[in-house]
Structure 1
Amino acid sequence: MISDVAALFSWVVELFSIEFTVYGFTFSMWQVFLFDIVAAIIGWILGEVFLDD
């Protein structure tokens, strides 16, 4: 069971390490994932500040 979890974690890390290039800029899935998280947090904070009733 532990080896299955380790294999799954290894597969996810390998998947997120894939790099791709868009218009001359190279990104990894980690960078895209972290950008999405930060953008969501900032959007939530801005929504609470400006749209809170």
Structure 2
Amino acid sequence: MSDIAALFSVVLRLFQIEFTLYGHTFSLWQVFIFSVVASLICRLLWEVFFGD
């Protein structure tokens, strides 16, 4: 069980890494959440306009 906890700990630390791009600071969490939300919105718009 401690191996799973260690794995989660490493993954959480990985997602907390921040980087700066063009003067804006992002964490990997923010990039992940943005990617999920943008994918859902694009899928919704695709179905509204091009779905059968």
TM-score over 0.5 for the pair = yes
Counterpart of 2:18 in structure 1 is 19
- Give the secondary-structure state (helix, strand or coil) at the position aligned to 1:30: helix
Q: CA deviation at 1:25?
A: 0.1
Identity %: 62
For the pair 1:38 / 2:37, whether they are aligned, the reply is yes
Counterpart of 1:7 in structure 2 is 6
Q: CA deviation at 1:14?
A: 0.1
Q: Can you list the C-alpha shifts for 1:5-47, whole angstroms capped at 9, x where unaligned?
A: 0000000000000000001000000000000000000001001
CA RMSD of the aligned region, Å?
A: 0.4
Number of residue equivalences: 52
